[in-house]
Structures are given as structure tokens and as C-alpha cells.
A and B are shown apart, each in its own frame.
Chain A
Amino acid sequence: MSAAVELAGVSADFGKFRAVDRVNVTIEPGEFFSFLGPSGCGKTTILRMISGFVDPSEGAIRIGGQDMKGIRPNKRPTALIFQNLALFPLMPVWENISFGLEVRGVDAAKRRAKAEELLQLVDLPGVADRRIAQLSGGQKQRVAIARALAVEPKVMLLDEPLSALDLKLRQHMRAELRAIQKRTNVTFIYITHDQGEALAMSDRVAVMSQGKLQQVAKPQDIYNNPANGFVAAFVGENNVFAGELGQVSDGIGEFKTGSGTFRAKVGAGVSAGTINKLYVRPEYSTLGPEPKSGANSIQVEVADVAFEGNFINITVRNGDGRNLTVETRNDGIVAIPPAGSRLNFMFDPAKALILADASAHQAGARA
């Protein structure tokens, strides 16, 4: 069972501080939806409003079409997985999992059976009688998921539950969470500041900043077609050039910067009057001895090379001392330029974007 979650003009004020500002979004039933943003952007407040621990100052939250106004957290069809999991340390694993059923008056034998069944589902059989302190980080994670699933929620809310795990386990749990979501078909709403997590797991991602939604889109669209400078800068790495927009033809604009005039795609809402920046990803940037025709090109000097294994990160410096980054896949035969070599930094106009500046966008958003 799953339900749609609809946020209609939802805001949250704490005194004079507006944590969430008129958020409109509809999350489809059975969708894996992430809110991605830096800490303090309001994403946790959104989660707490959906679960019922915070009341919106304005707007409405509807779950499965039903307005949640006045419905307390213990009466909502949601289950929350806390950042620190908040398992009950004094209860054994199975009582933790079946706590929600105990509340609903289910008898002990049935609760026990349900707990065992859920432990199977999260791939953790045979630990029903253990104490929480005896479990590893990943196992606690699974128990927390099982505990939330036990109440058969229509919507699962996850507040950065993977942040306490080490990298390997985190990557494993990503796949696991995704699989559990597909198996149960419950709507998952996931909160994170980790772009990798959001992109890898979600059907759709909402990027947030300062209480406002910046973009709601599929992961590939968030990365490839960021709606504004903030999204471009927050998701993934960029080489950024400040400058002025000149002539535009066929969606490709001339962009005058301190390092030269470049051509790049013009993003939505960009006009000559606004403060704009040019964003190009390190993996779309290349280095070469001669400028290629049709590509943008700057003369640079290699400053530093970081060999990361599957890819190589090369930091180069242009004439006015600015650092740019080039990321090359390591195919085993690629030549690594020595530091100090003079090369051309190049990028394809179709793979660079001119967008409204992040800070300018924020100022505009608040006004």
C-alpha cells in the first residue's frame, strides 16, 4: 500500500525565521523521492511536517488525498526512520520491530511472527532475541527499517539514515533500500545532503535551498540540466566563469569572461540583464596541445595531478591564476600530463551551461 503525498503551498516559520517557504510538490504513490540540500535548507522540517511533529504555518499537506491538518503523528499513515535510528535499547530486536503492533493491540505470538517475517524481508534472520547494543551499524539500520515497515505505513520517511555508516556499507545499503522500496512499493521520502545518495536511489529529486524548492526532476535531469546556478553548483563539480551574456542564436550564447569569450547553452530564465555564470563539468572538460575547432579553449598550465584510480583529476591554472579542474577516465593508456606543462583547456559549447548565478538567484527568490 502506498499513497501520494501532496504539499500545497507549505511554509514553516520558527519565530521570524522561515525554514520552509511555499513548497509545492506532489509525490506519486510508490515513488522514491528525495529532498536534497545543504544543512539548514529546510528539508528536515518538511519531513517533520509530513510526519506531524511540526505544524505548517501555512499550506496543506495531503496524504492519499486526505488533509493531515490536526492529525497527530501517532495517527498518520507514515513511519519515520530517524537519523540516529532511535531504536529502543532496552527492548530486544523483535520487540523493537513489533512495537507498532503492540500499540495496536496485536497479541504477542502474532507480533513475534511478524517480526521474524520482517527480519527475513530486510535480510537479517535469526537476531530476534538479540539486544540492540549487540548489533552492528548496518544491522541496526535494517532493524530500523523493519520497525518502520511493521506498521504497514503508506509513506516511509527517511531522515539521512545512512549518514552514520562507513562508505562501503553506505553504498551497499543504498541498493538495499532501493530494493526494499521496490519490494514493498511503499512511497519513500528520503532526506539527504549527499548528492550521490539522492541521485543513485531516487525516482525524482527535489533540490532545496533556504527553504525553497530549486528544482524537482529526475536525477539525470538534475545533473545534466540544472535549473539554476545553485543546483548546478550544489550537485556535482563545476568550473565556473563569471561574465556577461552577449548574442544568442539557436540556444547557444556568446559569453564574455575575464578568460576570454566562450559559447555555451543558455539556460532557462537567463537574459542579458541578469547576473549569470557559465558552468562546465570537469568530466566535460578536456586538455590538448592544440585548440580544437568549434570548442571553447583557454591556455593553461598544469598545476597538480591527482590519480584517483578509476579517474584522474587534473588541476590547471589559467593566465589570471584561477584554478580549473579536468576529470579524465583512466583507461590504462591515457597519458598523464606532468605538472608545469602548457596545454589548452577545452569544452564543447553544447555541454556548458549559462545559468543565473546562485547567489543572485537566492536574492531574487527571497524578494
Chain B
Amino acid sequence: MSELVRRYGLGLSGVFVALTAFWLLMLVILPDLYLFENSFRPYLPVVETGGPKDFYSLNNYLNFHSDLGWQNLTLFPGLPQISMYASIHEVVFLETIVFSSLVTILCFAITYPIAYFLAKVANPRSVGTLFLVLLIPLWVSEILRCFALFIILSLKGPLNMSLIGLGIIQDPIHWISDFNSVIIGLVYVYILFMLFPIYNAIQSLDSNQIEAARDLGAPWWRTHWRVIMPHSKPGIASGCVMVFMLSAGSLFVPSVLGSTHSRWFTEVIQQWMFENQDWNTGAAYAFLLLLLCIIFVSLMMSVFRVSLTDIAK
């Protein structure tokens, strides 16, 4: 703080601090507090707010666990049908978690080799160009990219036409079915959030360690398993957390690329808020999503023995 004042003077420092405080307080903390408070109050017509029916309760949250029945899970075609006794919203939430995890795993599987290549194999002079090529798609907005992907994946779209033209498939594939297109879309949109932390982590590894492992007789896979992956674990973890949270919280990708069978938990929240005009229940669901995702991520972190301080690095 004194460093800031010495460098920019009292006036300018005051402006910086005030703007930051305004952003934090007015745009982050207060709206969240407002929603949090509302999530405990019932949805009432305007005239009844503040009246005798307006009291705090957990009813909005309990909504999540109401109307129980046997529900079918939409997981993967070919797998035996799984049913569970739960509410529809719980099933949607479970599907969101499962497919966000799948997106995370796919992103990791695709980016780890690329990150390793960029960090340790590619000529350092061409890495800049390669990054530019990877980054340019990010300049286009997520909305535009989703619609583009929607066109590419459509039944008579360029992807199917190319595959048929190349003789790889005979009949067009229904890409936009079940969760397929949502998964493809989420991987495409969030993959760079996985690439950069892993790239940074691998790059910080002393190349001599890789050579030392090889010199001691390790084949490539063991070098990765015992030396490179343990070193880049914090980067892998932060990439996974980021991609998982962004996927689970994504609204646009599932609503543009969703099929009739794909349901995403954010879409439920959106329905509560904008179709039912019930901001109270919508807020309760939003906080539930946040809470359950944090619990899930913490659980995963303890399974893989990653601590928060690792990720902060």
C-alpha cells in the first residue's frame, strides 16, 4: 500500500483503490449477497413481499430434492440404462458433473501431449507462432464459435460431408445427439484453459531431469509417469479445476449445442430465473451448483493428493 502511494501519489492511488473497491463491492459482493439473501425467501407477488408470508426458510433449496421418482440417466449410448430414485433436478445435476468430468478428462488427454511438445520438443523459435495459431480462435467470441460449431456438426454440415467425401463413413453421423455435441463444444471452448497451466508447469521442469530418467533406462512413458507428470501436477490440477468449473457453469454451449436429450444444470437455473421469473429458487440452485461443485472438486483434489497451495503456484 505504501509502495503504491510512493509510486503514484496519494490522489492516483486513491482512484485505483476506489475503483477496485467499487468493482469488488458493487459488482461482485453486493449482487452475490442480494442473491444469497433472496435464495432463502419465498417467491411472492410484489404486494406480498415483506408481508407475513415473507420469511426465511430452506424451502428453495429443498425444492432440489422434491418430486422424487425413478429417473433414467442419459449417459452414453451403448451403456446399460441406469435408473435412480431421485428428483429430476438431481439427475440433471449428476449428468452435469459426469459430463463436465468427461470434458475435463478429454481436455487433459488432448492438451498434455501438446503442452509437452510445446514446452520441451518444439524449437523455441517457433513456439511463439504456434501459440498465436492456438490463440487466434480465442479472439472470436464464444457465441460465434458455438454457432459455427453447430453448423459444422449439423447432419448435412461440412464435417459429415467431408467424412463421406473421404470415404471414411457411408451415412452422416448424428453429432448433435445426447451429450455429444455439448461435450465437443465444451472441449473446444475451454481447452486452452487446460493447455496454458500444463505448458507452464512442464516448461519449468529442468530438461536434465528428463534426460537423467532416460539415461537411467526409463522408457518414454515411465519418464512421463514418474518425472514429468508429478512435476506438472499443480499445473494439471489447476487446468482441471478451471475446465471443470467453467464447463459445469457454462450456459451458452449447452443451450446452443444441446440436443433434445441433453440437460445441463445451468439451464435449470436459467429456467427458474427467466422462464418462471422465480429468482429466489434460481438463486438457491445457483448456490447449490457452486457448493456441490466445490465439494466435488475438493474431493477430487484429496483423491489426487493436490493441495490448494499447489494450485495457487
List chain A positions with a Cβ less than 8 A from chain B. 51, 53, 72-75, 78-80, 82-84, 86-88, 90-91, 99-100, 102-104, 147-148, 150-151
Contacts and interface: CB of A to CB of B under 8 A. Distances in A.
Contacts, number: 58
13 contacts: A53-B215, A73-B214, A74-B215, A74-B216, A75-B217, A79-B216, A80-B211, A86-B206, A99-B218, A100-B217, A104-B217, A148-B216, A151-B217
A87 to B, nearest CB: 8
Contacts of A84: 206, 208
B209 interface: yes
Interface in B209-262: 209, 211-219, 222, 226-227, 230-231
Contacts of B230: 90
A176 to B, nearest CB: 21
B212 A86 contact: yes
Given A88-B227, A90-B230, A90-B231, A99 B208 contact: no
A2 to B, nearest CB: 18
B228 to A, nearest CB: 11
Contacts of A148: 216
A100 B230 CA distance: 17
Interface of B: 206, 208-209, 211-219, 222, 226-227, 230-231
B283 to A, nearest CB: 43
Contacts of B213: 88, 99
A90 B231 CA distance: 7
A70 to B, nearest CB: 15
B212 A80 contact: yes
Most buried by A among B214, B215, B218, B226: B215
Contacts of A90: 230-231
Most buried by A among B211, B212, B214, B227: B212
Contacts of B218: 74, 99, 103
Nearest to B210: A86
Contacts of A91: 226
B216 A82 contact: no
Contact of B215 (A51, A83, A104): A51
A85 to B, nearest CB: 8
Contacts of A82: 208, 211-212
B211 A74 contact: no
Given A87-B212, A88-B213, 14 more contacts: A51-B215, A53-B215, A73-B215, A75-B217, A80-B215, A82-B212, A86-B211, A91-B226, A99-B213, A99-B216, A99-B218, A103-B218, A147-B216, A151-B216
B175 to A, nearest CB: 42
A309 to B, nearest CB: 38
A150 B211 CA distance: 17
Contacts of A88: 209, 212-213, 226-227
Nearest to A76: B215
A79 B208 contact: no
Contacts of B231: 90
B217 A74 contact: yes
Contacts of A87: 212
A99 B214 contact: no
Contacts of B206: 84, 86
Given A84-B206, A90-B230, A90-B231, A103 B211 contact: no
Contacts of B217: 74-75, 100, 103-104, 151
B226 to A, nearest CB: 7
B215 A78 contact: yes
B211 A100 contact: no
A5 B230 CA distance: 36
A207 B211 CA distance: 27
Contacts of A86: 206, 208-209, 211-212
A100 B216 contact: yes
The 5 A-B residue pairs with the shortest CB-CB distance, nearest first, are A86-B208, A100-B216, A86-B212, A103-B217, A80-B215
A53 B209 contact: no
A100 B222 CA distance: 11
Contacts of B214: 72-74
Contacts of B219: 74, 103
A99 B226 contact: yes
Nearest to B215: A80
A87 B212 CA distance: 8
B227 to A, nearest CB: 6
A86 B226 CA distance: 14
A101 to B, nearest CB: 9
Most buried by B among A75, A83, A103, A147: A103
A82 B207 CA distance: 11
Nearest to A52: B215
Contacts of B209: 86, 88
Most buried by B among A75, A88, A104, A148: A88
B261 to A, nearest CB: 44
Nearest to B212: A86
A96 to B, nearest CB: 10
Nearest to B219: A74
Contact of A73 (B208, B211, B222, B227): B211
